[in-house]
Amino acid sequence: MLLTVARVGRPHGLRGEVALDVRTDVPQERLVVGARFVTEPAAAGPLEIAHVREAQGRWYVTFAQADDRTAAEGLRGVELLVDSDEDTDDDDDGWYPHELAGLRAEHVADGRPLGEVVGLEHLPAHDVLVLREPDGARTLVPFVEAIVPVVDVAGGRVVLDPPGGLLAADAANLVVSDETRGTGEEA
């Protein structure tokens, strides 16, 4: 299985350098001169790193196949991939999207089913689980320990402690409650 190491961002300068949106916990090991990556889309690669630097927490690379700004702009959005068989990271606190997809989501309080994890999205602030609720609603759940305290891949589940209103079912219950409460006034 192929895993995303980084996504190519905007060009930086005129000589083909690009910013990377890094998806690995070990960029200093993955992003080295001479590293070759298969790509998504496949037609964009393979790509080989010719130059790499890190500045203020951002990673920048130049690929041997793109030595000017125009060529670099053509790589924007391309994902750099590695074979997961090469990945020996045993991080207990990190999961790949393919490990999370299909896990059932349960409520922390009573274990009731909340839906199924159908994906993982990388947003600027933090990752989010894509949850398909029982009614089919698609909900983005912040993938932070306070809301997702348990990830049990072997057990096939994640446990959620969602704040009120996060899930579509919560919002539906609020509307029903407001409609049935009434105003208490007689006409």
- Residue pLDDT, tens place only, 8-45: 999 988 888 999 988 887 888 888 999 999 988 988 88
Total domains in the chain come to: 2
Please check whether residue 137 lies inside any domain of the structure: yes
Q: What is the three-class DSSP state of 28?
A: helix
CA–CA dist 72, 63 (Å, integer)? 8
Given 86, 117, 143, the domain boundary residue is 86
Output DSSP code: residue 73. H
The boundaries of the domain holding residue 50 are 2-86
Nearest alpha-carbon partner for 149 in 15, 141, 56: 141
Check whether residue 61 and residue 115 sit in a common domain. Answer: no
CA–CA dist 37, 29 (Å, integer)? 13
CATH of residue 134: 2.30.30.240
80-94, 112-126, 158-172: which range is least confident on average? 80-94
pLDDT at 84: 66
Mean model confidence pLDDT for the chain: 82
Check whether residue 76 and residue 108 sit in a common domain. Answer: no
The CB density around residue 164, as the number of other CB atoms within 10 Å, is: 9
Percent pLDDT > 90 in the chain is 39
| Global confidence as pTM | 0.50
Please check whether residue 92 lies inside any domain of the structure: no
pLDDT at 61: 93
Please check whether residue 7 lies inside any domain of the structure: yes
Tell me the H-state helices in 51-185.
69-73, 97-100, 168-181
What values do phi and psi take at 99, rounded to 5? -80, -30
**In angstroms, what is the C-alpha Rg of the chain?**
22
Check whether residue 74 and residue 101 sit in a common domain. Answer: no
What are 66's two structure tokens?
């793109």
**Position 15: which residue type?**
R
pLDDT at 85: 56
CA–CA dist 125, 147 (Å, integer)? 15
